[in-house]
Amino acid sequence: MTVAKEVRTKIRSIKNTQKITRAMGMVAASKMRKAQDRMRRAQPYARKILQVIGHLAKGHPEYRHPYLQEREIKRVGFIVVTTDRGLCGGLNSNLLKHSLQQIKQWKDKGAEISLCLVGTKGENFFKRIGGRVLAHADHLGDAPKLADLVGIVKVMLSAYTDNQIDALFLCSNEFVNTMRQEPTVQQMLPIVPSTEVQLEHYWDYIYEPDNAKELLDILLSRYIESQLYRGVIENIACEQAARMIAMNNATDNADELINDLQLVYHKARQAAITRELTEIVAGAAVV
C-alpha cells in the first residue's frame, strides 16, 4: 500500500495549498472592491481642481506657468508605479516591459532619463538593470495616503523647475475591468490642457493673497499630486484584480491535480486489493 499512501499524502498537501490560494483569492476580491471604491471617491477632487485651474488660467491668459509650457525635451522623467508584492500574474512584467519600450524610445532620441519608482518590484528591477533614480517610495500598503506621495511629487516637480527634466510621464496600470489591466504611459508635465473643461463663465476673482501666480502654483502641484494618487490607487485595484485571477486559476489547477491524483490513488488501492486476493486464492489452491 506504499504507493497509495504516498499519493494520499500528496493529495493532502495539495488540498492545503488550495485552501491558501482560495483564501488569497477571496481576500484579493474584497481588497479590489475597496480600491475601486477609493478610486471613485478621489474623482470629484480631480474634476473640481481642473475646473478651478481652468478658471484661473483663463483669468490670466498672459501668464504661462512653467508646468503648462512646452519646452524642448532633452531630459525625461518617468514615474513607474509597480506593486510591492508578487503573485499577481504578469502585471508587473507587462508594465515594466511597456515602460521600458517608452524609455528606450526617448533614449534613442538622445534624451536623458531619470526615474522615480513606486513599489518594491520596480525597485528590484531597476536595481538589477540600472538607471538614474531620483526618488523612491514603497510599502505604501493597501490604502496609501496622499501624504505618502507628497515627497516624491515634490522631488519630481523641483527637478522639473530646475530644468533637470523637461517632461514627466507616469507609467501605471489602467483598470479596464476585473479581467483586464492595461499598462499605460501618461504625460504629467507639461500639463496637457484638457478639452473637457468648458468655460462658460469668466470670473474676475479677488485673490487672497493678492497673487494669482502663487495660487496657481499650489493648485497645479496639488493637481499633479492627485493624478499620481489616482495612478497609485488604480494600480492597487489592478494588483488585486490580477491576484484574484491568478489565485482563482491556482485553485482550479489544484482541483484538476487532485482529481488526477485521486484516480491514481484508487488504481493503486484496487491493484493492491487484487494482488492480495490473488495471493489468498493461490494460497488456498495450494492447500
Partner 1 sequence: MVNTRVTLRLDIVSAEEAIFSGEVEMVFATGIMGELGIAPGHAPLITALKPGDIRVILPDAKKEEVFYVKGGMLEVQPFVVTVLADTVVRAHDIDEAAALEAKARAEQALASTASEIDFAKASAELAEAIAQIRAVQRMKKQLKQ
CA gap 242, 229 in Å, rounded = 20
Binding site for partner 1 (CB under 8 A): 38, 41-42, 44-46, 48-49, 51-52, 55-56, 89-90, 93-94, 96-97, 100, 103-104, 107, 113, 116-117, 123, 125-138, 145-147, 150-152, 154-155, 158, 201, 203-209, 212, 215, 218-219, 222, 225-226, 229, 249, 253, 256
Nearest to partner 1 of 10, 269 (CB atom): 10
Sequence letter at residue 129: I
Nearest to partner 1 of 137, 244 (CB atom): 137
CA gap 36, 83 in Å, rounded = 16
Nearest to partner 1 of 33, 269 (CB atom): 33
**Do the Cβ atoms of 261 and 14 come closer than 8 Å?**
yes
Q: How far is the CB of 164 from partner 1 (least distance, A)?
A: 12
Nearest to partner 1 of 62, 208 (CB atom): 208
Q: How far is the CB of 158 from partner 1 (least distance, A)?
A: 7
**Phi, psi values for residue 79, rounded to 5°:** -100, 115
Q: How far is the CB of 4 from partner 1 (least distance, A)?
A: 23
Output DSSP code: residue 161: H
CA gap 118, 151 in Å, rounded = 12
CA gap 203, 59 in Å, rounded = 7
